[in-house]
Structure 1
Amino acid sequence: MKIIENHSLKAFNTFGIDKKSRFFTQAGDLDSLKKSLLWAREKGLQVLILGGGSNVLLTQDFPGLVIKIELKGIQVIQETSDEIWVEVGAGENWHDWVLYALKHNWAGIENLSLIPGTVGASPMQNIGAYGVEIKEVFESLNALDRESLDIVSFDSEACQFGYRESIFKHELKDRYVITSVVFRLQKEPKINVEYGAIQETLKKNGVKDLTIQAVSDAVVEIRRSKLPDPREIGNAGSFFKNPTISHEQFKSLKTDFPSIPGYPVDSGVKVPAGWLIEQAGWKGKKFGEVGVHAKQALVLVNYGNGDGKAIQELAQKIQDSVLEKFGIQLSPEVNFI
C-alpha cells in the first residue's frame, strides 16, 4: 500500500478538474483495498472511492483518502449452450470489457459501447443507452463492506435497479465498495436495433449483415458524433437524467410546446433533458472556461482550466431555467464532491 500526499486528481476525473486529495492510493487487489480502508479508519479520514472518474464533479480539494480502484480480471464462471456468465473486475475499463465481449461474440452489452467509466460503476448507475440497461445483463456483484471488511454478494433484486439508480446511490451509499460484477451474456445474439439512430446509422453505412459488432460500431459512431472526447474537452457525458413526468403534465406541455418529444414509460412520459435545455437557450453557451456543449445540450464541459464550482453553478442555473419554462425539475446524474 503506497500512500501519496497532496496528490492532484486532474488525471483521475474526466472533467479534468485540477483538485487535490490530502492522501491518495491505488488498490489493485482486495488486500490493498482493505489495508487502505483500515488506514483511513485509524486516522479518522473520509474516503472517496474512484473508478474511472467519469461521473464525478470535483468542486473542492478532498480532505481525506482517495482510493483509485484497479481491481482487474475477466473470468468465465459458468456457461450453457446458449448463455455465458462472466465475472469482471471492478477496475476494468467499461468499453474495454465491451470490446472483449465482442471479440468472443458474447451478446448483450454492444449497445453500451463507448460509455466512459469502469465496470464497478456500471451497476451503481444502472448505466444504459440505446435501448439497453445493465440490469438486463446483470447477474450479481461482489462488494466489500467498508465496516466489517467482509465480501457480500448482491443479486439483481437486492440492487434495486431503477432509471440510472440502484441501492448503492441511496440506502447503501458509501457503505460498500464494488469489487467485481457477474454478467450473463448470450451466445446466440438477440440484436436490439429498436433505437432509431442505430437503424439510421446502419442504413447509412450500408450494413447488410446485422451483427453485434455492427451494432457496436453504429453506437460508437453515434456517440462520437454527439459527445466530446474527454481527452480533448473535459466532460462527464450526460450531466442530467431524462426526467419522467405524468401523462397529464405532458399533455399540458404539448399544448404550449407542440414539438416537445416524449416516450411512454411505466411511470409516465420520459422527456429528453437535452431538448429541454436546448429550448431554454443553453446549447453552445460558454462562460469563461466552462459551458454547454455545442452539439449536445445535455453535456456540460470544461474547456481547459474550468473550476468545478463554476460547472456546479452553471448546472443550477440550467435547472432553474428549465423549471421556470417547463415546470420540470432536472436531476444531475453526476455526483458532486
Structure 2
Amino acid sequence: MSQSFSIQENFNLSDYNTMGIAAKARYFCSVQSVEELQSLLADSRFQDTPRFMMGGGSNVLFISDFKGLVIHVDIKGVSIDREDEGEVILNVGAGENWHELVVHCVEKGWGGIENLSLIPGSVGAAPIQNIGAYGVELEEVFESLEAVEIKTGELKSFTKEECRFGYRDSLFKNELKGLFVITGVKLRLQKLPKVNTSYRALSEKLEEKGIKSPSIKDISEAVIEIRKSKLPDPAEIGNTGSFFKNPMITKKQFEELQSQFPDIPSYPAGEKVKVPAAWLIDQCGWKGKRFGDAGVHKMQALVIVNYGNATGEEIWNLAQKIQVSVKDRFGVSLAPEVNIVS
C-alpha cells in the first residue's frame, strides 16, 4: 500500500462538513491523487467496509457515526486542456473549491460559471447534483469527467450525455450512486462570454446597481451580494445551503394550488412547474423556528441551521417535520437536496 497517506481512526468529521455535525468516522483518509485513491480502494483491509466519499462536505448530513471508511477527495489542480480564440476547456481536480474556481475564471475573463458564484463545496461534487443558480446549471458548461470505479479501481471517462443530467440530478445520484469517485472535471468556458441575466433577482440587483451592460465580473459580484444577503456563512453558523430541492409539479397540480393560494410563486420548467420550496416552508410558519440547536434560518426558510451542538439526528428530525407539514398543507413532497448519511 502507498505510504503517502495515512488512515485515521475514530475521526471527528465536524471540520469536514459545513453543517458542523460532530459525527465520527471509524476510519478516515484524505487522498491527493488518483493513484492514492486507487491504492486505498485496493487495500485488503477495507474490502468489506462501507465507504463514503467526501469533497467539501457542503451537501451532506451525517445522522449518526459512520461505521466505515470516509475518503476525503482532495485532488487539486487547474490546467488548460485545450483552447482557441473563442473557448477554453479546463481540467479541474475534484478537490478544488468551487467558488475559488469561479473567481479564477472570472479574473481570466472566461465566462459560463459566473452565475454559480459562492456555491459551497468542491468541484467533484458539482456534477453529482448538477449544481445550478440564477438561471444557469453546470451541464451548460460541462464537457466530461473522470471517475474511479470503486469495485475495480479503474479510471473511466463520462461524457455530458452519459452523465444524464437533470434538475439537481445526474447518473451519479441514481444508477451509479456510491459506485464511482469523481476525480476530475472538464469545463468548456467562453472567452467572449454572453452573460445570462434571465433570473429576476439577478436582473433587479444589476438594475439597482445601475449596471446596464454587465460583465461576467458584474454578474459574479451581484450573485455574491444576493447570496450573502440570503444565506448564512457556514464558517459562522453550520448549514448546507438549500436543504430541500424546489419541487417540480404538474401544471394541473399547480393550477389547483393556485386556486387555493393565489400568491403562490412559480417558474416554468418544461412540461412542469417549479415552485419555490422556501415559500412553501415559510407559509407553514417554519422560518426562524428553533428547537435546541437545530433551527430554520430567520432570513431563508430553505436553510436549516446548526446553532452550535445539534446532532445530525436532530437536524434530520426537524427536516422531516417540515416535509410532513408542507405535504399536509399543499400536497407537495419536498425532497432533500442534501445527501443523508448514516
Extract unaligned runs of 5+ from structure 1.
Answer: none
- TM-score normalised according to structure 2 size: 0.97
117, 120, 123: which is aligned to 1:116?
A: 120
CA 1:130–1:59 in 2, change beyond 3 Å: closer, same or farther? same
Contact 1:40 1:46 in 2 (8 A): no
1:142-157 paired onto structure 2 within 5 Å: 142-157=146-161
Task: Return 5+ residue gaps in structure 2 as ranges.
Answer: none
Hey, what's the Cα distance between the residues in 2 that align with 1:236 and 1:102? 25
Equivalent residue, structure 2, for 1:53: 57
For 1:209-250, what per-residue CA distance to the aligned partner results, in whole angstroms no more than 9, with x for missing partners?
A: 510000000000000000000011100000000001111111
- Relative to structure 2, which stretch is displaced further, 40-49 or 63-72? 40-49
How do 1:185-196 and structure 2 match up within 5 A?
185-196=189-200
In structure 2, which of residues 65, 71, 75 is the aligned counterpart of residue 71 of structure 1?
Answer: 75
Match for 1:103 among 101, 107, 112? 107
Identical-residue share of aligned pairs (%): 54
Residue equivalent to 2:278 = 274
2:144 match: 140
| Mapped contact 2:46–2:69 kept (Cα < 8 A) | no
1:86-235 correspondence to structure 2 within 5 Å: 86-235=90-239
CA distance in 2, matches of 1:206, 1:197: 14
Give the distance between the partners of 1:258 and 1:113, measured in 2 at CA: 33
- TM-score of the aligned structures, taking structure 1 as reference length: 0.98
Q: Distance in 2 between matches of 1:11 and 1:247?
A: 43
Q: 1:309 aligns with which of 310, 313, 319?
A: 313
What is the CA–CA distance in structure 1 between the aligned matches of 2:189 and 2:339, rounded to whole Å?
29
Q: Which amino acid aligns with 2:216?
A: I
Letter in 2 for 1:329: S
1:173, CA displacement in angstroms?
A: 0.6
Q: Deviations over 1:236-279 (max 9, x none)?
A: 00000000111111111111100001111113111000000000
User: Which structure 2 residues correspond to residues 290-329 of structure 1 after superposition, within 5 A?
Assistant: 290-329=294-333
Q: Which amino acid aligns with 1:118?
A: S
1:134 corresponds to which letter in structure 2? L
CA RMSD of aligned residues (A): 1.0
The number of aligned residues is 337
- Please, which of 258, 261, 269 is the counterpart of residue 262 of structure 2? 258
Counterpart AA for 2:268 = P
Take 2:14 and 2:106, find their aligned partners in 1: how far apart are those partners?
31
Task: Look up the match of 1:8.
Answer: 12
Amino acid at match of 2:40: S
Alpha-carbon separation, structure 2, partners of 1:210 and 1:195:
14
The one-letter code of the counterpart of 1:148 is T
Structure 1 residue 324: deviation in Å?
Answer: 0.6
CA contact (8 A) 1:40 1:65 kept: no
Instruction: Return the alpha-carbon distance in structure 2 between the equivalents of residues 181 and 297 of structure 1.
Output: 32
Distance 1:83 1:8 in 2: 43
CA distance 1:285–1:60, shift in 2 (3 Å): same
Alpha-carbon distance in 2 for matches of 1:230, 1:154: 32
Q: What amino acid maps onto 1:10 in structure 2? A: S
1:205 shift after superposition:
2.0
Task: Tell me how far apart the structure 2 counterparts of residues 292 and 39 of structure 1 sit (CA, whole Å).
Answer: 42
Quick check: 2:296–2:303 contact (8 Å CA) kept in 1? yes
**In 2: Cα distance, 1:43 partner to 1:122 partner:** 27
